[in-house]
């Protein structure tokens, strides 16, 4: 049995005194303890500190003080976010000897300032370089809807913890698809904001020029609530370009009336299996979309994203690779080494392409407000799968899971990942991407709310 209500319902119940923060937390802890042996989403818990936080929320309410919008909502974070007093693992063995973080990451601070209660840290692909969270150091995270299958990555623990009902809210990162892939495979809501929208201060980097941070949630209104709490300028983070908070929660009710919604074709159909294509068709029908739109240079953008990720990731870890290569994740160490050896000319060319590419992508949004695409080519494969088939073609599994997400994040556009459940997926979810122009998260979230209200996109309880 999962938590008795969703993120937005928990926030409302605590705010109105229908449930205490401590009661919510104890239900969350019981759920984690009951399901964690099968899921392996957490790498660390902090239940006593969480109990103290929840007690403070309850004391505030008893005194009649105003509560934050997320008061009493339990949350957990991918273990690349700093938690004061704990070592930031970033999914690695190498980081274990690092000193503990001296302060919480900015986004962790913002959620706690909104009243949310931090319960622990979550499993991930080492240094965020992967799409499956088959972590050799901390074990693979299992898909709550079908243990033995992957949860996606690199924020697999973040997606699985929400899907398993362990917590209603988590934080993850997305460079090439690491929020959208776990959202798709685990059947939860996810938001990859505009590049530079949210502060990254206090998070372990992977690819500074593409890294995004964002939330997962078990309902769309809760996702919007969390996103509003996470927003804000950060003059101490040179990669945060936001100058103001732009709340989205009140805009959800506007729906998609008046919005120009299109369906990405070409590359996004060719690299989507039957279940993924049918998920898009269901979303499109619910949003009244029928026109097919061509996304420019998708294949080239994916190639440039690969080059950029390998080069920046390899450079970041070069010294460790020289002295501790044997301690790296076997699934990623070769890619880090090859990235460190890539010719500089490749990286320069990828960045030159990116400037032109972003201009082409942004031009699309003169004609369209929201574009729909599948989030993953297939439903979650079994752990250990080496090859997948897409429309009769054979692809290497792990890198190909990001076929449909990499071109979008390379442009920096905001995306809501919405959970759908096509019958062809054999009980597993397949998500769709709702893509908007940079800085228009509100439009993508409005489209997501329309899918939720229509009953087309939603989470499901597991049988755990």
pLDDT tens digits along 366-375: 999 999 999 9
Please say if 311 is a catalytic residue: no
What is the dihedral angle through the alpha carbons of 360, 363, 368, 371, rounded to the nearest 10 degrees? 20
Residues 6+ apart with CB under 8 A from 71: 11, 14, 15, 21, 57, 60, 61, 114, 115, 116
Residues 6+ apart with CB under 8 A from 26: none
Please say if 154 is a catalytic residue: yes
pLDDT computed for residue 111 by the predictor: 98
Tell me how long the chain is: 464
Helix (H) / strand (E) containing 287: helix 274-287
Residues 6+ apart with CB under 8 A from 166: 28, 31, 32, 35, 36, 39, 41, 42, 76
pLDDT computed for residue 275 by the predictor: 98
Distance CA 127, CA 329 (A): 9
The model's pTM is 0.97
Of 317, 360, 361, 358, give the one whose Cα is nearest residue 337.
317
Catalytic site residue from 6, 20, 78, 184: 78
pLDDT computed for residue 1 by the predictor: 40
Residues 6+ apart with CB under 8 A from 216: 155, 158, 159, 162, 169, 170, 171, 172, 179, 182, 183, 188, 189, 190, 223
Of 203, 127, 212, give the one whose Cα is nearest residue 408.
212
Please say if 290 is a catalytic residue: no
Token pair 């799968």 is found at: 385
Give the mean pLDDT of the chain.
Answer: 97
Ranges in the chain, pLDDT < 70: 1-4
Instruction: Give the Å distances, CA to CA, from 350 to 209, 294, 347, 410, 442.
Output: 12, 21, 5, 11, 30
CA angle (409 as vertex; 356, 42 as ends), nearest 5: 160
Q: What is the DSSP code string of 132-182?
A: S-EETTTEEPBPTTSBTBB--SSSHHHHHHHHTTS-SEEEEEESSSTTHHH
Judge contact between 326 and 295, C-beta under 8 A: no
pLDDT computed for residue 5 by the predictor: 82
Catalytic site residue from 6, 178, 199, 309: 178
Distance CA 450, CA 458 (A): 11
- 3-class SS at 198? coil
Of 145, 144, 126, give the one whose Cα is nearest residue 136.
126
Distance CA 267, CA 464 (A): 37
Catalytic site residue from 154, 158, 203, 409: 154
381 φ/ψ angles, rounded to the nearest 5 degrees: -80, 165
pLDDT computed for residue 12 by the predictor: 96
Instruction: Give the Å distances, CA to CA, from 42 to 30, 46, 138.
Output: 14, 11, 9
Judge contact between 218 and 189, C-beta under 8 A: yes
Judge contact between 122 and 77, C-beta under 8 A: yes
């Amino acid at each position: 049995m999962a938590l008795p209500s969703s993120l937005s319902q928990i926030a409302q119940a605590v705010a109105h005194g229908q449930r205490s923060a401590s009661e919510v937390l104890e239900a969350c802890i019981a759920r984690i303890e009951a399901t964690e042996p099968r899921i392996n989403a957490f790498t660390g818990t902090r239940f006593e500190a969480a109990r103290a936080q929840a007690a403070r929320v309850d004391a505030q309410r008893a005194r009649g003080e105003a509560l934050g919008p997320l008061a009493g909502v339990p949350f957990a974070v991918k273990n690349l976010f700093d938690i004061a007093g704990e070592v930031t693992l970033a999914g690695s063995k190498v980081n274990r000897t690092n000193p503990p973080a001296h302060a919480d990451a900015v986004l962790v601070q913002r959620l706690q300032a909104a009243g949310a209660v931090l319960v622990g840290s979550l499993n991930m692909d080492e240094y965020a370089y992967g799409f499956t969270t088959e972590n050799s150091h901390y074990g693979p995270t299992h898909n709550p809807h079908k243990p033995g299958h992957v949860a996606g990555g690199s924020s697999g623990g973040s997606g699985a913890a929400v899907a398993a009902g362990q917590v209603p809210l988590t934080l993850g990162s997305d460079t090439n698809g690491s929020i959208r892939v776990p959202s798709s495979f685990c059947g939860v809501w996810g938001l990859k904001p505009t590049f530079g929208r949210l502060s990254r201060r206090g998070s372990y980097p992977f690819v500074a020029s593409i890294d995004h941070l964002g939330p997962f949630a078990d309902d769309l209104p809760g996702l919007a609530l969390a996103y509003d709490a996470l927003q804000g300028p950060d003059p101490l983070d040179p990669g945060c370009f936001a100058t103001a908070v732009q709340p989205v929660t009140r805009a959800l009710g506007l729906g998609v009336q008046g919005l120009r919604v299109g369906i990405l074709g070409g590359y996004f159909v060719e690299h989507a299996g039957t279940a993924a294509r049918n998920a898009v068709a269901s979303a499109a029908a619910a949003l009244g979309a029928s026109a097919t739109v061509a996304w420019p240079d998708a294949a080239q953008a994916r190639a440039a994203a690969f080059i950029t990720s390998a080069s920046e990731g390899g450079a970041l870890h070069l010294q460790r690779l020289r002295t501790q290569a044997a301690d790296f994740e076997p699934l990623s160490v070769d890619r880090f080494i090859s990235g460190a050896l890539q010719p500089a000319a490749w990286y320069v060319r990828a960045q030159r392409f990116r400037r032109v590419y972003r201009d082409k992508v942004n031009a699309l949004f003169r004609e369209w407000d929201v574009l729909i695409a599948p989030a993953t080519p297939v439903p979650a494969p079994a752990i250990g799968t080496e090859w997948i088939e897409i429309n009769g073609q054979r692809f290497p599994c792990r890198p190909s899971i990001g076929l449909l997400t990499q071109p979008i994040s390379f442009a920096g556009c905001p995306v809501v990942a919405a959970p759908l459940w096509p019958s062809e997926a054999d009980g597993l979810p397949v998500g769709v991407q709702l893509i908007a122009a940079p800085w228009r998260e509100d439009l993508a979230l409005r489209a997501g709310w329309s899918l939720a209200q229509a009953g087309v996109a939603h989470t499901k309880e597991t049988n755990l």
